[in-house]
Every structure is written in structure tokens, then in C-alpha cells.
Amino acid sequence: MRSLFVALCYASFFVFGAVAPFVLTLGYVWVDSFYPQTIAFTIINDLPVSRIIAIAALGGYFLLDRRDPPRLCFITVLLVLFAAWVTLSTFVWAVVPDEAVEKWNLTVKTLLFSAFVPLAIRSRIQIEAFLQIWLFGLAINFLPSGLKAPIGGAAYGQNLGAHIGFTPYVSNDARLAMIALMLVPIMLFLRQHTKILPANWLTSAMYLTMIVIAFGAAYGTYERTAVIVAAVLAALFWLKSRRKVLVAAALAAVAVVSVNVAPADWLDRMATITEYKEERAAASRLDVWRWTFNYAVEHPLGGGFNLYLIDKLGPVNPDGSRAGLAYHNNFVEVLGEQGWPGLAIFVALIATSVIYLRGAARRARQFAQLAWCRDLATALQMALVLQLTGGSFVALGFHPPLYMLFALSISLREYVYRVEKASAQAGLPNRELATRIRARG
């Protein structure tokens, strides 16, 4: 029955996409975040579900939905350029070509579809639908963990998720914790500004419950990364708040209560955060960072995907050889695999996204009806900071949610631009313009 239900959910995107082509793009986002093929036992578990719906989304847009296209943006150029660069590094000079092709297959799909998303996601309803599908697709990664952790299922290295096998979202606990906390600002935005779901106490309670479960999932991983990301999230909320003394007191109270109710094994693991010089895992990360930097100095173009397999800094294999040790940092990952040019593109993507979001928030202040744009720009910036914070301790340089944030920064920027343009052309007062915008969705 589960397989049938998941298959019907997948098929529904094609049905509704025949009427509203942007729904096919939402279907790809759902597949890319939910990974239905790992949930279903039969029917779609062996199908290339991602490729099928990606082709359908592209076809639906170019055949049926080419209206109000966004301007050519610098982020779009960077994403396409990055896709070309990683392709070149994979098929021309990759050090471990077989393993590089495997990661390239996932990465190039992420890069190119992120460049496509702003073409299909243009209106307020479409942007919110994207966020809702993305949120509930990713929720399968943290909701089971967050529900099980408080009742005693939590432990370091304990798999509490729902997936069978690998997905890019639950390959390790640190990544799971980062996803759960990264979505908190987006959930708060949807709680305040949702138009698709009924704006009532039940919907509000649903989002708040999901936030509590997200924190439970982060706690249940026993990951030190989760504590650091949670601390950064608390700092961001404090900076955003207008009542900083009250918020600081509330955050301090939550921290004190959390420490007093946490089990001893969780506290023992968190205590090692300050003992990085003696802690073996931290020392090994410094070793791999140093090794990767030295490699990039000698090979400025990088070594291709999965270069870390040759660093020989990992655990000892049964045959006496040493395995490779992963980068544990997104910037180090990009530097080692794609060299200095790849790192420059990666940093440019991050910086340009921040510029787009800050610019959209600033220009949206001209229009009272665009308060949701300001709040969404803030939420996406917070999510980006949290993603990068988590990526400081686990390699997330090619993590799909990061590139979805880049895509959303374009969609939001272009929406605000279209409102400005319509206002300038029509010479309408803000109130009348707001009425027309609401009518168009």
C-alpha cells in the first residue's frame, strides 16, 4: 500500500502539471528532496524518477509556460559555468575517474536544474508552493528522527530515519541536523505568510510543532555540528529581534533547561567541542584540510570529484592500507575537487545570492504589500548562513538544498523587480497595485 500511495503521489504531479506546467517543477523538487524511490518497495523503486520528471518539467515550460521569463542573472551564468567546469574536471583530469563520474551525475543535475527553477517559479503562489513542497519533501528526513529521539531512540550514529539506503540528505547525522535547523526560518515564514494553506490556529500549530520536532531531530543526532548550527540560529534570531534583552533571556533559559535535562552521554559528547586539540576527529580534519590545500597549490585546477579517496588519512583497511578521509568542509571540498577556479565560482554564487536577497528586501520596502518578500529574503539569508555553518564541519559544497537557495534568490529578486516595473509603467498607487498583484497570484 505504501508503494502504491507513493507512486500515486508521483503520478499526481504529471496530472496537475498538464494543467499548470510549473507543477512539474514542483514535482522535481519533491522527488529531489523526498526521494520516493527509497520509500517505495515496488512500482517506482527501480525507475529513474528524477530524470523522467526533470524532462517533463523542462518540456512543460518550453512548450506551455514561457511567459514573464526572468532576466538573465549572474547566478544563472555562474550555475551554468560551474556545471561546465565540473564536467571538464570530471572527464579530463579527474584523479579517481570512476568515482568522480558518480558524483558528477548528481551534481550536474543539481546545478542545471537550479538554473532552470527561476524560469518556472515566478509568482508569489509559485514561490510559496515551491517552499511548501520543499519543506514537506525534506521533512521525511527529520520528522521520524525528531519524533523518536525524545522517547529514548537517540544516540550517536543511530539511524532513526525513514529512508532505505543512501540519499544526499541523510548520508550522515550532521547533514540531517543541519537540514532540520536550516528549515526553521522557512517554517516561521510560512507560518506567518502562507496563502496556500488556511491561515488559522491549526496551521500555525502545525508549523510550530514541526519546528519543535526539527530541534528534537538535531538533538537526537548527538552531533556537535547540531549544537553549533543551533547556536548560530539563536544568534540570528537575536540579531533580527527588536526586543533583544527579552530574547536573550529566553534563549539563555532554554539553554540552561536543555543542559539540565540532557542525558549524560549527550553532555559528554558535547564537551569535546572545546577539546579539539586532543580530540582525534578534529585533529584528523585539520590534517585533511592541510593536505587538500597543499594539493590545490600543486594542482590549481583541482583533482576532480571524490579526490579525498587518495589522501590516505582515513582508517586502516584490512589489507593494511589507509582509506581516504573526507573533507569535512564545503570550501575545502570545492577547492580540492574543482581547484581555485571552482572555489571562485562557489564563493561568487554565495556572495551574489546574499546581494540579491538583501537588494530584494531593500526594494520591497517601497511597497506595503511586499512585506512577505522582506521576510522571505531574511528567512532565505538565515537558511543560507545555517547551511554554510553546517558545511564548515561536513562537506556540503554540492548539497542540493544550497543550490535551491541560490535559485530562490533569483525568483524572489525577479518578483520584486516585476512589481517595481509594473508600478512604474502604470503609475498606480501602492494600494491599487497591491489589488492587481493579489489578483494575479
Q: What is the DSSP string of 160-220?
A: -SS-SS--TTSSSHHHHHHHHHHTHHHHHHHHHH-SSS--SHHHHHHHHHHHHHHHHHHHH
What integer is the mean pLDDT of 163-192? 78
Distance CA 235, CA 248 (A): 9
Return the axis-axis angle of helices 74-92 and 400-426, rounded to nearest 10°: 150
Percent of the chain predicted with pLDDT > 70: 89
Q: Are residues 42 and 189 in the same domain?
A: no
Question: Tell me, what's the pLDDT at 153?
Answer: 53
Specify whether the CB–CB gap between 154 and 219 falls below 8 A: yes
Q: Are residues 169 and 206 in the same domain?
A: yes
Question: Which ranges constitute the DSSP H helices of 66-162?
Answer: 74-92, 97-120, 124-148
Q: Are residues 4 and 145 in the same domain?
A: no
Percent of the chain predicted with pLDDT > 90: 60
Distance CA 157, CA 362 (A): 43
How many domains does the structure of the chain reveal? 2
Residue range of the domain that includes 26: 1-67
What integer is the mean pLDDT of 85-111? 95
CB atoms within 10 A of CB 150: 14
Question: Tell me, what's the pLDDT at 242?
Answer: 84
Q: Residue type for 62, please? A: F
Q: Are residues 158 and 294 in the same domain?
A: yes
Q: What angle do CA 281, 282, 283 make, to 5 degrees?
A: 90
What integer is the mean pLDDT of 220-234? 89
Distance CA 360, CA 10 (A): 34
Q: Are residues 143 and 89 in the same domain?
A: yes
* Residue 220 pLDDT grade (very low, low, confident, very high; cuts 50, 70, 90): confident
Q: Best-predicted range by mean pLDDT among 139-153, 265-279, 309-323?
A: 309-323
- Has residue 271 got a pLDDT over 80? no
Distance CA 160, CA 147 (A): 9
Distance CA 208, CA 366 (A): 30
Which 3 state secondary structure label does DSSP give 316?
strand
Question: Is 49 exposed, middle or buried, given 0-12, 13-18 or 19+ CB atoms closer than 10 A?
Answer: buried
Specify whether the CB–CB gap between 413 and 380 falls below 8 A: no
Of the residues 67, 98, 124, which one is the last residue of a structural domain? Answer: 67
Q: Are residues 316 and 199 in the same domain?
A: yes
Cα–Cα distances in angstroms (integers) from residue 106 to residues 88, 309, 310, 398, 400, in the given order: 15, 18, 21, 9, 9
Which 3 state secondary structure label does DSSP give 132?
helix
- Has residue 219 got a pLDDT over 70? yes
Q: Are residues 63 and 82 in the same domain?
A: no
Question: Tell me, what's the pLDDT at 332?
Answer: 95
Secondary structure in 3-state letters for 38-64 = HCCCCCCCCCCHHHHHHHHHHHHHHHH
Question: Which ranges constitute the DSSP H helices of 69-96?
Answer: 74-92
Q: Which residues contact 274 (CB under 8 A, 6 or more apart)?
A: none
Q: Are residues 52 and 183 in the same domain?
A: no
Question: Tell me, what's the pLDDT at 210?
Answer: 95
Site of grid cell 515550460? 61
Q: Are residues 53 and 95 in the same domain?
A: no
Of the residues 42, 67, 92, which one is the last residue of a structural domain? Answer: 67
Span of 160-169, 331-340, 378-387 with lowest mean pLDDT:
160-169
Distance CA 126, CA 118 (A): 10
Dihedral angle at the C-alpha atoms of 262, 266, 268, 273, nearest 10 degrees? -110
Of the residues 39, 67, 95, which one is the last residue of a structural domain? Answer: 67
Q: Are residues 63 and 101 in the same domain?
A: no
Site of grid cell 577556479? 341
Partner residues linked to 322 by β-bridges: 316
Distance CA 97, CA 91 (A): 7
Sign of CA dihedral 137, 379, 406, 174: negative
Task: For residue 217, give the nearest of 161, 133, 274 by alpha carbon.
Answer: 161
Q: Are residues 77 and 63 in the same domain?
A: no
Question: Is 247 exposed, middle or buried, given 0-12, 13-18 or 19+ CB atoms closer than 10 A?
Answer: middle
What integer is the mean pLDDT of 207-226? 89
Q: Which helix (H) or strand (E) holds 289?
A: helix 280-298
Question: Tell me, what's the pLDDT at 425?
Answer: 76
Q: Are residues 312 and 236 in the same domain?
A: yes
